[in-house]
Amino acid sequence: MPRYTVHVRGEWLAVPCPDAQLTVGWLGREAVRRYIKNKPDNGGFDSVDAVNFLVRRCKGLGLLDNDDTLELALEDNEFVEVVIEGDAMSPDFIPSQPEGVYLYSKYREPEKYIAIDGDSLTTEDLVNLGKGRYKIKLTSIAEKKVQASREVIDRIVKEKTVVYGITTGFGKFARTVIPVNKLEELQVNLVRSHSSGVGKPLIPERCRMLLALRINVLAKGYSGISLETLKQVIEVFNGNAMDPWVDPPLRGLALINGTQMITSLGCEAVERANAIARQADIVAALTLEVLKGTTKAFDTDIHAVRPHRGQIEVAFRFRSLLDSDHHPSEIAESHRFCDRVQDAYTLRCCPQIHGVVNDTIGFVKNIITTELNSATDNPMVFASRGETISGGNFHGEYPAKALDYLAIGIHELAAISERRIERLCNPSLSELPPFLVAEGGLNSGFMIAHCTAAALVSENKALCHPSSVDSLSTSAATEDHVSMGGWAARKALRVIEHVEQVLAIELLAACQGIEFLRPLKTTTPLEKVYDLVRSVVRPWIKDRFMAPDIEAAHRLLVEQKVWEVAAPYIEKYRVEHIPESRPISPTAFSLESLHKKSTKLSESGDL
């Protein structure tokens, strides 16, 4: 019997076909039916008949005719996608393999604008511009700066002054002077010659980020582009048609110069890293509860004597989520008087390990934010001096080094998460059923999900090798040291996606562990996290196709839903300055507890 793997709105569905003479339309309807069946709200549809869709191959994205038979249109085990009418590609989800398949949601044209001045763009702004949440407009101050620098370029052309990239060739051809009547052709040829990449293009959201960042750099007024051309580029970003070729001197160079690809991808990496880092604390806290760990390691006094900012913040988040006197946990109370002295490093050392990741993200974000609002052209046009200067601000070493560091830092969240997954799955460490499933042996539970996490962590180890330690001389030794920053940015994003996926598996495993501790409940904020997960993923009673569940949990993390349900409790704990709870247990030594024991002994008369 032929079988097809069908992608519907972020979920993979295995659909067997009883008859190869059935049509592509049947496959689409059957996939939608299964999708609706798996959703608590029926996926927002009244019935299968109410859904209009197209079907296309995942590989190559070729559309299929709904009337064609499956025997003629598809190979057995082929991957296909159901595209529901009225949906548009969402910018909020980075797809897993096979590439080219995206989560879908309704598209709304933005009504709000971000004012661009070249000096105040943030990483959050750029990511939101990439997601299509805003349009762009120039400030009046930026317009004046652009016009002033353009006057310098016009004078250079009029006086036939030899200036790199304006009246000369590029790279090794920097000494080749170009006639005035060839300047337009020079700029067109520059863009054509640079169109030499291989592989798949950047997805639209990343292209929007890159273009928005280039607009911001041009708005600084050091590039020499004409105001007319810059406004046309803004019209392109805002979704209006235009003819960009009205500005021969510098128009090509101004559009492709600088570190914008590295930096724009770096912005996405920083924002996604920050999102997963703070949610990693929540996931780890839930795992600690399931493994019946202690909160003693998060005591404020411990972290005050090693006052790294990230470490202190992570310990605070753990206290705000686990402090049982303020968010009563029946699970914590059930083992308060156990004989365990301390937990494993993967639980006890979360503030130290997660903390340095947070500090790394902050360090990288500062560099990327500076780069966002920097002039990275060559040559630079200084209107106040009335001259141009050739320099090296285009070099990508700053963002390249920072993003290599980010990949190394953020990877540690996956490394420690995978170890916690091991503790959840291993009955000798968890006191839970092997691999978190009933009837072990008949069912494998989370056994292979853990293998997936381990594979992702292993792959990250290779991806964390710094790309910026490499350099190859090009352009006839004119460009004799390069940053390799493009690869630093792209692989940082891959590392972050793997971290998200590993933590998604831990989140599912921790919630499954909760099932075996019922009817006991955890703290209020962690119960809210559990409820969120259960709104998209059912508990495991027996083995089932796990990929859609992992992807659903991944989506919760990417969309920051886990943070959204827990954050109010974290912030309330912060704002209200709730006194720290320090529960006593037989394994917690203090002079006060020793005194109490001595008093009891003397009162009883026992020696």
Q: Which residue numbers are catalytic?
A: 164, 194, 257, 345, 348, 394, 479
Strand (E) or helix (H) holding 27? helix 24-37
Q: How far is residue 13's CA from residue 549's CA, in Å, rounded to a whole number? A: 11
Angle, CA 382 vertex, CA 376 and CA 385 arms, to 5°: 155
Give how far the C-alpha of residue 587 lies from the chain's centroid of Cα atoms, to the nearest Å: 41
Residue 291 structure tokens = 């493994």
Q: How far is residue 585's CA from residue 596's CA, in Å, rounded to a whole number? A: 13
DSSP string, 528-575: HHHHHHHTTSPPPSS----HHHHHHHHHHHHTTHHHHHHHHHHHHHHH
Give how far the C-alpha of residue 384 lies from the chain's centroid of Cα atoms, to the nearest Å: 41
Q: How far is residue 526's CA from residue 532's CA, in Å, rounded to a whole number? A: 10
Q: How far is residue 332's CA from residue 336's CA, in Å, rounded to a whole number? A: 6
User: What are the helix and strand counts (H, E) for the chain?
Assistant: 22, 11
DSSP string, 494-507: HHHHHHHHHHHHHH
Q: What is the largest CA-CA distance in the chain?
A: 109
Contacts of 557 (CB under 8 A, 6+ apart): 275, 276, 279, 500, 503, 504, 507
